[in-house]
Amino acid sequence: MNNHRKGFLLTTVGGLALSFDVPLVRLGQGEMWSIIAFRSITTFAVGLALWIALRFFGRARPALVSGKAGLLAGLCYGLSTVTFLSAVFHTATANVVFIVAFTPMFAALLGWILLKERPSPATLITMLVMVVGVALIVSGGLASGHLIGDLLAALTALALACAITIGHATRIEMGLVPLLATIFPAAVGFTFMSSGGFQIEAPLWVIFDGAVMIPLAFWCLATGPKYLTGPEVGMFYLLETILAPVWVWIVFREVPSLETLAGGAILVLALVGYSIVQMQRMDKIRTLAVPKGL
């Protein structure tokens, strides 16, 4: 298997695994803070076990905390977990995943403001188009009383963009940071959880999500960039955006509103178009970099 096929396989598996996150959380049928605490502590346990295994048996010996930058990025990842799972309980699944798809545009905006990395014209155009899509989804949430959930989803996208910007600025290895950072939402969940303990009717679904699907998704999607370009990897993140509402519709018969479908279609088409443009740009750069006669 060549590197491109290997990257294609890894990112496909990662995107598919991530698309089952929301359905599995909802199948747990639990109280919000109980779900946040239980899912997070499960993922943290797997991340910690993976870190120990790498320290003792792997060639690379990753640090538990990658300095102040790793800690700050971890706080951003932890916040994104709290806001994401809270959004799942306060608005429709389609609203959540479509709005969170705005993450790369937030990252481009933060890179422009903080790192002085001016976005390309294609990025700016995509950003403006996606703002229209998000506004359309939020307008539907305002009409249906789901505005808080939509805002929580937008905050999730911003928190993830902050973590990505920190990683890009420092170039520090942060492959395990999203997994280990789940200790923060776990602490928040335990703090606000009722005195009666965990209130989850079907905890096995949440355990399967936190112990298997989330670590698998994060590892595959974090490894994909070794073999594929950034825009190509970004295309596979869209699998969650597209498939999560489908799984929820099949299992829970939750039908997205017309505003959500229209806004989501705008977001997905904008991201697909942007990724295609970026891949063509990367191919052109590689072609120009190859010496003539080779």
Summarised one tens digit per residue, pLDDT across range 1-42 is 577 788 788 888 988 998 999 999 999 999 999 999 999 999
Q: Report the alpha-carbon distance of residue 16 to residue 208 in Å, rounded.
A: 15
pLDDT tens figures, 207-252: 999 999 998 988 887 777 677 665 566 667 778 888 888 899 889 9
Contact of 278 with 125, CB cutoff 8 Å: no
Residues 6+ apart with CB under 8 A from 47: 176, 179, 180, 182, 215
What pLDDT does 260 receive?
Answer: 86
DSSP 20: T
Share of the chain above pLDDT 90, in %: 31
**Range 217-220, long-range pairs (CB < 8 A, 24+ positions):** 217/14, 217/15, 217/17, 217/18, 217/21, 218/14, 218/178, 218/179, 219/14, 219/175, 220/10, 220/11, 220/13, 220/14, 220/17
Q: Report the alpha-carbon distance of residue 94 to residue 40 in Å, rounded.
A: 22
- Which band of pLDDT confidence, cut at 50, 70 and 90, is reported for residue 185? very high
Nearest residue to 285 via CA among 231, 222, 249, 233: 231
Q: Report the alpha-carbon distance of residue 132 to residue 102 in Å, rounded.
A: 11
Nearest residue to 277 via CA among 119, 98, 110, 107: 119
Q: What is the pTM of this model?
A: 0.84
* Residue bearing tokens 């001016």: 118
